[in-house]
Amino acid sequence: MGMTLELAPHQLKAIDELHTGSILFGGVGSGKSRTSLAYYFMKECGGSLRINGSGKSVFMKYPKPLYIITTARKRDKLEWEEELTPLLLSTDPSISKNGTVVVVDSWNNISKYKEITNAFFIFDEQRVVGSGVWARSFIRIARRNEWILLTATPGDGWGDYIPVFVANGFYKNRTEFLNRHAVYSRFTKFPKVDRYIDCKHLVELRDKIMVRMEVERETEQHHITIQTFYDVDLERYIMRNRWNPYDGEPIQDISKLCYILRKVTNSDPSRSKVVSKLLSEHQRAIIFYNHDYELEILRDLMASLNNTYAEWNGHKHEEVPSGESWVYIVQYDAGAEAWNCTTTDTIIFYSQNYSYKRMIQAAGRIDRLNTPYKDLYYFHLRSTSKIDRAISLALRNKKRFNENNFIEM
């Protein structure tokens, strides 16, 4: 039966609280897509739905064109199409009831829609940070249309909220926000925000637009830190001489220094030994990594163990393997969001990502409402190297690791 939905109490509560300009904040697997579409159908367009077996369904009285900006992976796998079907909506105008316009596209193409007006936009998997093309296009669209934004993870800092605050009219532009709230470091050659002030006001603004979906989960996450080793003498040599031993050249900037120090840590043979042992104890596992040299190490390990494995990164887009025993190797930036896996209870973090937000997204890939597992296991490989300890400290404080704060060149 069409126009019938099952909605949990936390979803119904969110629909009542949402308004244009809201951020719908719900943990991974909380049902943000369905909630946002129900809000669009009922509150924005005057329709009625048969919910949880009761009520009368009436199609939208005032239909608006619907644009959903999401990840390329979700678009290509037609995940939103599945959610649209019960509402008699589709990206195919010949199927969509009354010819209602529905467009699902990726963030890479957001600038195509900046001239659209009088429509409703759902921005899925929050990407509007910084001041680049995506952020500018988002602000222009938001000022001309109704919209809500979906996220499973809040920003790494107040700077991540600037485009949303500007789109809501709290500030005229990014410059006004920074002039009022940013304090710049005195010790860098270029403008760098050291901290933000008047944060009480920022919290008030965020609370005006943040709609939280609290979900009681039956799963329990177990986070286990496993210590690995590193070449202490090589770390000391690199720090003292600012020399890249891999390429045989001087290290010119902080970013390169951090990269080389992480390579010393993450390429230590002790990491492969830990992964090998974990895979002997867990038949199916997802491994997250950062850099290509880590990928090569993991590929070599899979070959030596004769393991079935697949990859999702900038080189390959392979699906999660099936069968009794497998490994899925995923690069953080390419695959920390927009896919789910309910056929394993194990994630191995081969190395740490700089972003607390990215780490939470990655962990959420197996923590789904429909997972058959109650206990979920997360193994964090860390050494006592200076760089690993500094990243760990930032993540414990729910912050993004800042290379510039690590050491002054």
d(CA 56, CA 118): 28
Domain segments of the chain as ranges:
4-213, 220-406
Cα angle value 91/95/99 (rounded, 5°): 80
CA distance from start to end of the chain: 65
**CATH class entry, domain 220-406:** alpha beta
Cα angle value 255/261/264 (rounded, 5°): 145
Q: Do domains 4-213 and 220-406 have the same CATH topology?
A: yes
pLDDT tens-digit map of 97-133: 999 999 999 999 999 999 999 999 999 976 666 667 8
CB 14 within 8 A of CB 99: no
Q: Would you report the helix, strand and coil content of the chain in percent, each value rounded to 5?
A: 40, 20, 40
Could you tell me which CATH number the domain at 4-213 has?
3.40.50.10810
CB 193 within 8 A of CB 178: yes
Sort 389 into a burial class: Cβ within 10 Å, 0-12 / 13-18 / 19+: exposed
d(CA 120, CA 100): 12
Those residues of the chain that have pLDDT short of 70 are: 1-2, 126-131, 156, 188-189, 407-409
Question: What pLDDT shows up at residue 408?
Answer: 47
The string of DSSP codes covering 238-274 is HHHH-EETTTTEE--SHHHHHHHHHHHHHT-HHHHHH
CB 244 within 8 A of CB 237: no
